[in-house]
Amino acid sequence: MSVTIKQVALEAGVSISTVSRVLNSSGPAAKATCDTVRGVAERLGYVPNATAQGLVRSRTDAIGVVLPFLTGEFYPELVRGLDLAAQASDRHLVLLSSHNTPADTEHALRAMYGRVDGLVVMAPAVPLDSVAAALTPDLPVVLLNAPAEGHAFDVLSTDAYGGTRLAVKHLIDLGHRRIACLAGEESNHDAELRLTAWRNVLTEHGLPSPEDFVLRGDFSRESGVEVGSRLAELVFTPDGPTAAFASSDYMAMGAILALAKAGLTVPEDIALASFDDIPSAAYFNPPLTTVHPYTQDLGSLAAEWLFDRLAAEVPAPPRQQVLPVRLEVRVSSGSSR
């Protein structure tokens, strides 16, 4: 059983409030009293209750992070950036998954109240109204990869639109004129930005973007296998695509497996470019040409923005920023068929 503050007070022969003042440095106390209290606390192995201390001091030294998922390769990179910034500021993270649904997102956000000083939230597949309804004005929030209009939150995003343009333009420069899109869900803000960019680049170059070239999944490997099977069917048609842009690396990986099952090889039979540059993208077979979004930097900057909010004496206007990306050219886009 853990030692309580009452036990420390009894052993030291002082009041509970005195123990609290000494251990929290929140009020005056004689040096002898301080030495006695700290000595007893150390000898008994007393560990202060962080939640109770946070209530007393009106801060917890923790930031909450709500993400669609905590698994895979993309989200751990994001968390790594957040954690590095938190460590540098002597804070820690409280992580929760929203499971990519409005109801679970609301539950996760409400579960953070009283436990954290501010929030970093990524919920691109959840309507912003649902996110806003679960937040309170007194809790600083930084949204990641969310629409920047129609609300008063700080928004930090990777350039989903610009990155997709880089990838599709790369395929066009290789000589491709019929390029498919392995798109994400319609409800996903990022997915729609990437799909819009694909359409616009093709239109600007006078190239077709037929609806049957849009194959929707959900950014997962499993959906990549499904849309990859449909992509294989299109490739075998007379005017089928010679290249494809996948909205995520996982979808690209799943599609490559499905294409191989259909007897097609990347990039010899169809070229492929994607988005995310997750750690395994460079080691997949073939290595993926993909957009690198500086995911770890996104996490670090989001935490720093939140710390700025917490330190500000006067509320500042909301900030919006889109972080640049780069294209990593590897083997998967090598076909110039």
Domains of the chain with CATH codes: 5-48 (1.10.260.40), 62-159+295-324 (3.40.50.2300), 160-293+327-333 (3.40.50.2300)
Q: Decide if pLDDT at 184 tops 50.
A: yes
Extract the tokens encoding 189: 């803000």
pLDDT of residue 51: 46
HSE (CB half, 13 Å, CA atoms) of 13? 4
pLDDT of residue 128: 84
Provide DSSP, 102-114: HHHHHHHHHHTTT
Average pLDDT of span 18-39: 79
Res. 301 pLDDT band, cuts 50 70 90: very high
Structure tokens at 227: 């849309």
Closest CA to 165 of 140, 197, 191: 197
CA distances in angstroms from 337 to 177, 259, 275, 320, listed in the order given: 10, 16, 22, 41
Q: State residue 172 phi and psi, 5-degree precision.
A: -65, -40
Beta strand 326-328 pairing with 289-292: antiparallel
Q: What percent of the chain has pLDDT over 70?
A: 93
pTM for the structure as a whole: 0.81
Query: With 60 as the cut, is the pLDDT of residue 86 above it?
Result: yes
**26, pLDDT greater than 80:** no
pLDDT of residue 281: 98
Beta bridge partners of 62: 92
Please state which of the ranges 21-35, 63-77, 98-112, 117-131 shows the lowest mean pLDDT.
21-35
Higher pLDDT, 264 or 150: 264
Q: Please compute the mean of the pLDDT values over residues 258-275 and round it to a whole number.
A: 97
* Whether residue 246 has pLDDT greater than 90: yes
Question: In the structure encoding, which two tokens stand for residue 162, read together?
Answer: 């610009």
Residues whose CB falls within 8 Å of the CB of residue 66, separated by 6 or more in sequence, listed in order = 96, 97, 98, 105, 108, 109, 112, 119, 120, 121, 122, 123
Give 235-238's long-range contacts (Cβ < 8 A, gap of 24+): 235/259, 235/262, 235/264, 235/269, 235/270, 236/262
